[in-house]
Copies of this chain bind each other. A is one copy, B any other.
Amino acid sequence: MSNPPAPRGASRERMLETAIDLMRGFGLSGAGINDLVRESGAPKGSVYHFFPGGKLQIAEEALAAYGPRVRELIVEALAGAEAPPEKVRTLFRAFARRLRSADFSRSCMVGTVGLDLDDSLEPLRQRLASTLDGWADAIAAAFDLGSTRRTRAFAGFVLTAIEGAYVRARVERSSTPFTEAGEWLATLLE
C-alpha cells in the first residue's frame, strides 16, 4: 500500500461510472477501452491496471453497480402508490422521467448490452439474465395476480414493456411509450 488509496479508488470508480454511462448510451460495442479512456480522462494504462480482465470485467462490474440502482428505483416507485393499477402507472412514470432527464440518450444497460451479445459473452449474458431476474422479483413482490406463476409472468411482462418502451422512446424521442405501456398494464390489473 505505497500509494494513497483514495485517489486510486476515486479514479477506479470514475471509470466504472463512465462505463455505465457509455453502455447505457451505446451498449458494449460503444464502450470500448478507447472510449472509456477518452470520456473518463484516465490514462490508458490505468484501465488495465484497475481492470486486468479488460472490457468484460468492466462490463461485469458496471452491471453489478447498475443492477441494484435500478432495483431500488423499481421498489421505490412501486411503493409510491397503493392500488395495483396505480403502482404500475407510477413505475412507468418513474422510468419516463428518468429518460427525459437523460434527454432520451441513455437507456437500460441490460437492453443496450443485451442487444450486443454474442457467443463469446456467455458469462456476461448470464449476469444480465440474473439482473433481470432480480428486477422481476422486486416487481412480483408488489403484486398478487392469484398465483405465484401468474404474478411472476406479469412481472416479466412488465420488464418486457420497460425494455421495449426504451427502444421506442429513444427512436421516437418521446416518453409516451412509457406512459402508454403503464396504462395498458394497469388495464390488465383492473
Contacts and interface: CB of A to CB of B under 8 A. Distances in A.
Question: How many copies of this chain sit in the oligomeric assembly?
Answer: 2
Interface residues of A, number: 45
Contact of A118 (B25, B29, B117): B25
Interface in A134-162: 153-154, 156-157, 159-162
B157 A181 contact: yes
Q: Residue among A25, A115, A156, A164 with the most chain B CB within 10 A? A: A115
A125 interface: yes
A165 interface: yes
Given A161-B161, A184-B157, A118 B168 contact: no
Interface in A64-120: 105, 107, 110-112, 114-119
Give the secondary structure class of A's interface. Answer: helix
Contacts of A60: none
A148 to B, nearest CB: 15
B105 A171 contact: no
B167 A129 contact: no
28 contacts: A27-B29, A27-B30, A29-B116, A30-B116, A105-B117, A112-B116, A114-B171, A115-B166, A117-B170, A129-B171, A129-B173, A132-B168, A132-B171, A132-B172, A153-B180, A153-B183, A154-B184, A156-B168, A156-B180, A160-B165, A160-B168, A160-B180, A161-B164, A163-B163, A163-B167, A163-B168, A164-B165, A188-B188
